[in-house]
Amino acid sequence: MNANNAKHVRSRDAGKDAGVLLLATITALAAAAAPAAESPRATSPGSFQLSVGTEFTTGEYGGDRSVDELYIPLTGWYRSDRMSLRLTVPYLRVDAPAGTIIEGPGGQPIPGDGPDVTESGLGDVVLGMTLYDAWKNRAGDLALDLGGSIKLGTADEDKGLGTGQTDFTLQADLVKFLPGFTAIGSVGYVFRGDPDGFTLDDGLIASVGGLSNSGSRGMRVGAFLDYREAGYEFNDDRLEALGMVGWRMDGWGAYVTASVGLSDSAPDWGLGLTFVSRR
């Protein structure tokens, strides 16, 4: 392995950590489904990993009362040298006005106008795949990852925990490796299903930001700006700022995340904690 390739392998760890930020704070970004925390080159081909997290978000989303969401995803990862497959099974608890509809991971709730109620249960299961280094330059410091995910309509639509429809997301991530820092720009498109009683439009998703490379103690800090085009005609586009601090422990990586909404249809704030197994 030459010096450029060695640098690329080490830097890919930072690029994959950015996926954990998207998974934990937007959960797809759910951007939809994010790469794993550890570089596939650092694990043996055919390895399995597990992540578990919790995220709390609150906001009015253009209404006059708060919609509080507790999202607890359990994700299993299968990873080879060039790709990863993942399955996320979440628990969801929502405190909101009756009639509120949760669009899905990373989406925008449609506020109801009834009395405040609490609903909980299985959230929308998400299947995802990422192809690493679909393209990279000769120096190995610029690479393109391609991914896609399927949000299954498993959340109970009668409780407002989901739309009951299947959504598809395609995404491309451009990763630039700099000394001590990895810059990441993502763009994608969500194809939303057609629920009963209202219409959801397809829309653009995008994010830009970066992550510091691992220090002597394995600490990492990241920040992103995330955009999602509104799916519901009465919602504004979603824009929020995201931050992350991560560190490595024996057998696990831990990530604390925080978000602040920058538009009416984004959550006012959110906090998350994710643990990822290291193999």
> What does each of the 279 residues of the chain score in pLDDT, given as a tens digit?
443 443 344 445 555 555 544 444 443 333 333 333 334 434 455 788 999 999 999 999 988 999 999 999 999 989 888 899 999 999 999 999 999 999 988 888 999 999 999 999 999 999 999 999 999 999 989 999 999 999 999 999 999 999 999 999 999 999 999 998 999 999 999 999 999 888 999 999 999 999 997 665 678 899 999 999 999 988 899 999 999 999 887 778 899 999 999 999 899 999 999 999 876
Rounded Cα distance, 101 and 233, in Å: 14
Rounded Cα distance, 205 and 169, in Å: 9
Rounded Cα distance, 34 and 103, in Å: 19
Q: What is the pLDDT of residue 216?
A: 55
Q: What is the pLDDT of residue 150?
A: 97
Residue 216 tokens, joined: 């002597």
Asked whether 122 and 154 are in contact (CB, 8 A), the reply is yes
The CATH code of the domain that includes 172 is 2.40.160.40
Asked whether 211 and 182 are in contact (CB, 8 A), the reply is yes
> Given the structure tokens 């009668």, which residue do they identify?
158
Q: What is the pLDDT of residue 67?
A: 97
DSSP 251: T
**Could you tell me the pTM of the whole model?**
0.85
Collapsing DSSP states into helix, strand and coil, what is residue 100?
coil
Q: How far is CA 86 from CA 67, 126, 149, 190, in A?
A: 28, 8, 9, 18
Domain count, the chain: 1
Phi/psi at 219 (nearest 5 deg)? Answer: -80, 145
Which is it for the CA torsion 153, 155, 156, 157, positive or negative? negative
Q: What is the pLDDT of residue 12?
A: 52
Residue 126: domain span: 3-277
Q: What is the pLDDT of residue 13?
A: 54
Q: What is the pLDDT of residue 214?
A: 67
Q: Using CA atoms of 7, 13, 15, 16 in order, give the dihedral in degrees to the nearest 10.
A: 150
DSSP 217: T
Q: What is the pLDDT of residue 251?
A: 78
